[in-house]
Structure 1
């Protein structure tokens, strides 16, 4: 057997080995992801339980003294900020101590009630540091909030934070609905230690607080007049304890009732009078489940991209000049987009302490895919574009300049995406990543076969993440669903893929009239009908690519579907061959295959113009 001939058994065995490797890789990623999710969840619950036990033991041993050493008391609360047991003790002691103070009872005992009610209230709020509450709000009058929101009720979020031990920052988000890209008022109230308050029916009232707020729509400030505006307000807070057998088994949960009002104004643009009820967000709540499902979905998408990017890099090593097919600009756009998403998910994981373990595997996969594999693909394609540079120093300087520009574009894109992230036109624009590939095919004039691994496995699948954010009503980013935007994205992607296939079958410049293709050449040449005429005209030549007579079909040593497609094209043009401008003749499939690699004549190495 000819050693260079195609062996079907070896080919099938190689394909089966590759399939086994792919299945093992998918199984490994799935098992590792499942292990990380389960193991981290168990460790988190065990750590929370240990922290709660150690904190209760510390309170019992030291009798939970606060005021005699305020710094020490607040340090105790810092150790308990991940659970709510410290809150329960302070909450109960605060109301008992307030009643004692109102009745003139002094209690110098070293337990919690030995502290003032003001410090116990501050400690209660401090124990809820970094806790988020979520619920609903209702308007107490007929006016819209600040003359801006459309509804009289909606979605309410509150977040308590403290950056020092002298003040509590009380953040509130009041929206028409649950989606953050709709109309919303984002406010901040600062409660300093020792702030005067009154209690009526277990409701704590703070008077003359300053509400700093921003009005937003589509995640943008609506006007400079409302940016960082301030109004005086009164705030009423009531922290209740409730037991929910479904969500909080055998433990108490803080339940927030809050009123914010500006009673001394008639200006509708400064009027706010709402009441809200909110529950403490818990990692086992619906939001936690949504995050877990999204992390699994993201892991599956990234795993599929891993498989196909490895397949693409392997084809670069096996096939000569395979990287010439791909557009460097298309890969750069994908690199910038994935870089943004990589940092976005990493920051989200860091900011959400109780959900960090869900994002360990996706963030790791994103970082490897973006910073190693995609950068490697870009490097290979870039080196192919500069293969004519022999001097290594010049080549290194150009490579450094290219990557400096690429990472600068990545940083600049952060500001653009942050500013217009809620706009549909931005989503349409970033999904035009096949347009540079189409333009490159037109400029080169080569009839390139569509690489399915590149189009479907590496490029298109990343759009599923955008479709999730704009098509799933319960997405983790709380963006409003826009089904028209999703349809537009799908239409744009399908149109680009169909255009690539049209370039493959009809030529890269099929949509350009021939009179405008001045630099193109029609390679198709019709053979005479008889062999006698062929010999008499001296055209009984051989194809120098396959070493077969031009009047015969080429013998191709492969069973690839790609060669079958080329043979079908050749049969559709009976008695046609291809002739170059330098008057060398070849079989149609042979020259088409050659021109995918090099745009030069196989015989005399003369440059070949693009095909018509």
Structure 2
């Protein structure tokens, strides 16, 4: 949209800008929307599996709705920007460059740990700031727009604040931005727990646990992901799911990254599992 707007504002170089705008739209409609669909499937694995199992046509309807919503929001944002371009330039520019705000909110909601590498955050932010910094700082810019240093400073401060908060979440915890009273209660994967089959008294399953002391909780239980022994003590050496199954922490982390099935317990398929 930036190249299309620039083509309308600068008739002398409109043809090259229109070619670039057409190429970027083709890239957006193809690769970017495909990436968006994969992201939706990754974030809604449980719903995606249910839809695929129930009816393929229903899954197509959900994906079509995703496309329609995205393009409607895009067209509405373009129309509003065109109508308010002269009256609320700073507000529109800050809104357009709030691209890290959804990621900040998603990190808080999903308790995602280090979802994006700092190098990508810094590089992509710098690349997106290149055009407005050039247009509003260079006196001889191709759009012949007047320089506005205050606008550049405001934009740099706004994007810099978003990047700083993302890096703070990356190196500490996603909930670091929330007061303690507003932070949601997290499931404790290291809670004290005996193997569920000991509590049930199932003799057929007692062979899974070797030398387990029902009083102290010490012993070894089999991790069904790697088929190796997982010590019940100390508590930090193993994780236990809400359904009462024990695994190595690294094994469960790798399991939860599996695109299909990783949201459910490997043993009983209970899910979705809370963030680890």
User: Is TM (by shorter chain) over 0.5?
Assistant: yes
The size of the alignment, in residue pairs, is: 243
- Check if 1:434 corresponds to 2:96: no
Structure 1 residue corresponding to 2:161, chosen from 495, 501, 509: 495
| Alignment partner, residue 584 of structure 1 | 245
Is the Cα contact below 8 Å between 1:441 and 1:508 reproduced in 2?
yes
Structure 1 residue corresponding to 2:188, chosen from 513, 522, 531: 522
Is the Cα contact below 8 Å between 1:544 and 1:586 reproduced in 2?
yes
SS in 2 for 1:495: helix
For residues 368-397 of structure 1, the C-alpha deviation after alignment (integer angstroms, 9 at most, x for no partner) is 332322222223334554513232333333
- 1:594-609 aligned at under 5 Å gives the runs 594-597=255-258, 598-607=262-271, 608-609=273-274
Is the Cα contact below 8 Å between 2:4 and 2:18 reproduced in 1?
no
CA distance in 2, matches of 1:369, 1:358: 17
- Check if 1:467 corresponds to 2:133: yes
Is the Cα contact below 8 Å between 2:223 and 2:230 reproduced in 1?
yes
- 1:118-267 aligned at under 5 Å gives the runs none
Q: Considering only CA atoms, is the larger Rg found in Structure 1 or Structure 2? A: 1
Give the superposition deviation at 1:431.
Answer: 1.4
Is the Cα contact below 8 Å between 2:190 and 2:235 reproduced in 1?
no
CA distance in 2, matches of 1:497, 1:603: 40
Give the superposition deviation at 1:467.
Answer: 2.0
With a CA cutoff of 8 Å and minimum separation of 6, indicate the structure with the bigger relative contact order: 2
Give the superposition deviation at 1:460.
Answer: 5.2
| Structure with more strand by fraction | 1
Check 1:511–1:453 CA distance in 2 against 1; reply closer, same or farther (3 A cut). Answer: closer
| Alignment partner, residue 51 of structure 2 | 389
CA RMSD, 1 decimal: 3.6
Structure 1 residue corresponding to 2:220, chosen from 524, 527, 540: 540
Structure 1 residue corresponding to 2:28, chosen from 332, 350, 370: 370
Instruction: Please list every run of 5 or more consecutive structure 1 residues that lacks an aligned counterpart in the other structure.
Output: 1-339, 528-533, 552-572
SS in 1 for 2:177: coil
| Alignment partner, residue 80 of structure 2 | 416
CA distance in 1, matches of 2:9, 2:192: 64
Check 1:429–1:378 CA distance in 2 against 1; reply closer, same or farther (3 A cut). Answer: same
- 1:275-294 aligned at under 5 Å gives the runs none
Is the Cα contact below 8 Å between 1:519 and 1:610 reproduced in 2?
no
Give the superposition deviation at 1:427.
Answer: 1.5
Q: TM-score, normalised by structure 1?
A: 0.34
- Check if 1:405 corresponds to 2:75: no
| Structure with more helix by fraction | 2
- 1:329-340 aligned at under 5 Å gives the runs 340=1
- Check if 1:512 corresponds to 2:178: yes
Give the superposition deviation at 1:487.
Answer: 2.9
Instruction: Please list every run of 5 or more consecutive structure 2 residues that lacks an aligned counterpart in the other structure.
Output: 194-210
